[in-house]
Amino acid sequence: MQIKQYAPDAVIQGLLDGEDYTNRVAGNCVYHCPHCGHQIRFRWKHFYKADEQTFLKHEYRSEFNKLTIDHPDEDEGFLDFHCPTCGAPTRLNFAIFDYTEIAYHFDLRSVFVGERLR
């Protein structure tokens, strides 16, 4: 099983960089599959509603978990999905920052992509 790690800005367009943040999700961003080029639009609400449920096979979840760097001082989350075109299992890892009780920011940390499945 081969899994490649990508910097978020290498496969996702629309992320913001600022003085104290990098790869922040604004209103929406677009993921480009590195295998087939399929584009998936993610909105801020997708990250807000991500509850770390995954439909990936156990071996991919396990490998993605091993590769994920844990930051104990930050809240973190992930979005797992298969590319609709080539089937590549993918994980978007992100940090969660709570500005107020109703305003959250999501900064993408890493993207893991498995091999094409079709």
The confidence score (pLDDT) of residue 108 equals: 97
Answering whether pTM is above 0.85, one says yes
Residue spans of the domains in the chain: they are: 3-114
The rounded distance, in Å, linking the Cα atoms of 4 and 60 is 12
pLDDT at 74 over 90: no
The stretch 71-88 carries a mean pLDDT of: 92
> Which of 68, 41, 63, 56 lies closest to 117, judged by CA?
56
